[in-house]
Amino acid sequence: MNDDQPNGNPWVKSLLVWGGIFLALLMVVSMFGSRGDVGQAIRYSDFRSKVAEGTVAEVQIGTDRIVGKYKNGDSFSTIPIPNDTSLPQLLQENNVSYAGRELEQPNMLLYILVQALPFVLILGIAFFALRQVQKGGGSGAMGFGKSKAKLLTERSGRVTFDDVAGIDEAREELEEIVEFLRDPTRFSKLGGQIPKGALLVGSPGTGKTLLARAIAGEAGVPFFTISGSDFVEMFVGVGASRVRDMFEQAKKNAPCIVFIDEIDAVGRHRGHGLGNSNDEREQTLNQLLVEMDGFEANEGIIIIAATNRPDVLDPALLRPGRFDRQVVVPVPDIDGREKILAVHMKKVPLAPDVNPRVIARGTPGFSGADLANLVNEAALLAARRNKRLVAMQEFEDAKDKVMMGAERRSMVMTEDEKKMTAYHEAGHAIVSINEPASDPIHKATIIPRGRALGMVMRLPERDSYSYHRDKMLANLSVAMGGRVAEEIIFGHDKVSSGASSDIQYATSLARNMVTKWGMSDKLGPLQYEEQQEGYLGMGGSHRLMGSDDTNRLIDSEIRLLVDTAHQRATQILQTESEKLHLLAKAMLEYETLSGDDIKQLMETGELDRPNEPKGPARTTPVRGSSIPKTGKRYSGGAAPQGA
């Protein structure tokens, strides 16, 4: 990607500048350093002594210097004493040939050039500073008010719409903008006008910047890119100046596209907070609003911006005429994840057993960036294992690493700690199997990963965009299954801190059911909790809305939901105690069980894995009481897929 604009070769300019400096120094040396061959400088008294000794052959006497030669041919020079009338007699007495010496006259042209050199340098510095100010890229020493927008000309690594997958609706809307730039008469003949702006909205990693690069690769028109933070400066008025300069550059290259990444850095609501920095940001935003749709029309300039915080943008920025379209770039569904995986897997040599559909099903909530990272992790694992192809096992291991953290091989547990972890995870699994609304179990393990000592991972059979009450109640029961199993097997006094994250998740889910989703019969379908934003929309907290009696009722309803889930888990595990022991023993033996293994074990009471090695023994106690029990990946505000 070449971001340099075609304004001449900078290397040639630098060479000319340094060449001029070298010539100037050379002239100074020539002027002041070149006085001919004057030989060795000696004192005047030594000179008279040499003459008296008869070692001097000839001299040339000048008003400012005496130059001569010894009889052996060496040269010398000395500075004479004024009005020394005895020197000619001394020279005659010692048979020294002498003559007068003319005063050296400097080269007048060289003298004038040297005298003018300081003024030339001053003029050169001033000219260089003015050129820096006039630079369009804002990278000059004094280019504070110049735009930092870069003109993209991708000569290698060009991205097109073929590289964008899983977000078909967003891609189609932006393809229409590209078609308009290619053939505007097709739309304008029916009275249509090109959209002035498109705002890409989506979570981090969903592909907003990738879409912008695809537009640059497909449009065939100049494409300027800049970050919202590039407008922000500590000096008031600099950001507005950069906005004006950016649009001036765009007008010269119209029709063109200007892409502003992370526009929320400059486009936040006006009127929040105090201070010069905020005044600067508001001036920059005001200038951007005027340039996008002000008194003067900017024909042929399309603004595309990206943000993951559309809620903090100023309403004037979002109105039609500025950003005519808001293109939502969502987290991909299972079909989209499969397509995204196919795009990234093109760069990886795959084994025949790799099934992108299975991987897509096992990665709910993953964005495009997450899937790219998953494929990269699988390739790195295969390389470390000295494999020529990336197999399904590498993708499974990479998925476990991304979702649950790296396996902690150095963490060795005693048999008692290992046994408690096995029963804890078996409790989750047994409750999940006996809850009809729960998602199927994908994997259960007691191998420590990340911050978790063990894991029961459940995956939905399809993507869910909303959750029902029965599924939430099932998730509450599953979350309580680990603590209940510890209570049943080890007793009330031996329960561990391993359920801390389960309790945190259950409390949060129950609170949302009561205060946000209206799932309390006593409180009804009302919202009792609101989000409070912090300064300038950053951070924030939750505040309960209601009287003290209402808040006490909310707490009691939350407690009732969690207690009911605890009772439900207790009932299931007491009824299925034999299966609880069976599953815990299998996990102690094999450490990791797949969903099919657990299903086979529950149905037949046996596990047929003849080629599977049993788990290694762990003997050193290192388990800490503050380690959270879960390390699963949750996305959004919906209920997670495992507890």
Quickly count: other Cβ atoms within 10 Å of residue 325's Cβ: 16
Distances (CA, A) of 298 to 73, 293, 303: 84, 8, 11
Alpha helix positions (H), 441-593 = 469-490, 500-515, 548-575, 577-590
- Which DSSP state fits 449? B
Instruction: State residue 150 phi and psi, 5-degree precision.
Output: -110, 135
Q: Bridge partners of 597?
A: none
204 among annotated binding-site residues = yes
**Where does 205-307 show beta strands of DSSP type E?**
223-227, 256-261, 301-307
Nearest partner of 45 among 90, 1, 112, judged by Cα: 90
For 27, the enclosing helix (H) or strand (E) is helix 10-33
Q: What span, in angstroms and rounded, lies between the C-alpha atoms of 188 and 179?
A: 12
405 among annotated binding-site residues = no
Q: What span, in angstroms and rounded, lies between the C-alpha atoms of 584 and 79?
A: 108
Q: What span, in angstroms and rounded, lies between the C-alpha atoms of 466 and 463?
A: 9
Q: What span, in angstroms and rounded, lies between the C-alpha atoms of 312 and 540?
A: 13
8 among annotated binding-site residues = no
481 among annotated binding-site residues = no
Q: What span, in angstroms and rounded, lies between the C-alpha atoms of 210 and 1?
A: 14
Q: What span, in angstroms and rounded, lies between the C-alpha atoms of 110 and 93?
A: 43
- Measured in whole angstroms, the distance separating CA 207 from the mean position of its chain's CA atoms is 13
For 198, the enclosing helix (H) or strand (E) is strand 197-201
Sort strands 529-533 and 540-544 into parallel, antiparallel or unpaired. Answer: antiparallel
344 among annotated binding-site residues = no
Instruction: Name the token pair of 381.
Output: 């694992």
Q: To 10 degrees, what angle do helices 469-490 and 577-590 make?
A: 80
- Measured in whole angstroms, the distance separating CA 289 from the mean position of its chain's CA atoms is 27
442 among annotated binding-site residues = no
Look at the alpha carbons of 124, 129, 132, 134 in this order and tell me if their dihedral is positive or negative.
negative
428 among annotated binding-site residues = yes
Q: What span, in angstroms and rounded, lies between the C-alpha atoms of 248 and 135?
A: 13
Q: What span, in angstroms and rounded, lies between the C-alpha atoms of 195 and 354?
A: 43
List the catalytic residues.
Answer: 425
Nearest partner of 587 among 619, 615, 612, judged by Cα: 615
Check: CB of residue 196 under 8 Å from CB of residue 304. no
What is the identity of the amino acid at 543? Answer: R
Instruction: Name the token pair of 326.
Output: 């808001």
Instruction: State residue 197 phi and psi, 5-degree precision.
Output: -155, 150
203 among annotated binding-site residues = yes
Check: CB of residue 211 under 8 Å from CB of residue 176. no
207 among annotated binding-site residues = yes
What is the identity of the amino acid at 111? Answer: Y
209 among annotated binding-site residues = yes
Q: What span, in angstroms and rounded, lies between the C-alpha atoms of 86 and 91?
A: 9
Annotated binding-site positions for Zn(2+): 424, 428, 502
Annotated binding-site positions: 202-209, 424, 428, 502
Annotated binding-site positions for ATP: 202-209
